[in-house]
Amino acid sequence: MSFELNQIRIDTQKQQDGVWYELGEARFLVARLGNANYRKIMGQKIPEYLRDTMEEILRDRLIGEVLADTILLGWESLTENGADLPYTKGNCRRLMTAPEYSDLRDLIVGWASNAEKYRVAYKDETKKNSAN
């Protein structure tokens, strides 16, 4: 028995451009955590040798900014205090850095970490052919 690598092959376009996730009536366009843009911007904002020594508040703010710049790429049908909240980089940065929206930030990180959503569509032809 062998393992077909295509079952775990990542679609690099999806990883960079994002996939849609739904939360109630809202939809969020989320790129994969660790994509090339994320690694580049994270390295610029927080050099590796500083990551463990930074104050937690500053680190969370910088990580929130990187998420806004590279991971949360858009949204639809999102409201705040009953008013439509359009997707802008400013609104995105505010949500990803605000302590009161840390649960949203954690949700975005969770979605961005879900490798299955960023895989190449794979059909197991062996199983399909054996069923016939």
Structure-token pair, residue 93? 């940065």
Count: domains in the chain: 1
Range of the domain at 119: 5-131
| pLDDT, tens only, 10-60 | 899 999 999 999 999 999 999 999 899 998 988 887 776 666 676 777 778
Q: In 3D, which of 74, 76, 118, 113 has the Cα closest to residue 92?
A: 74
Instruction: Give the CA dihedral 99, 75, 118, 15, nearest 10 degrees.
Output: -80
Percent helix, strand, coil in the chain, to 5, is 55, 15, 30
* pTM of the model as a whole: 0.78
Q: Distance (Å, rounded) from C-alpha 22 to C-alpha 98?
A: 21
Query: Which amino acid, 50?
Result: L
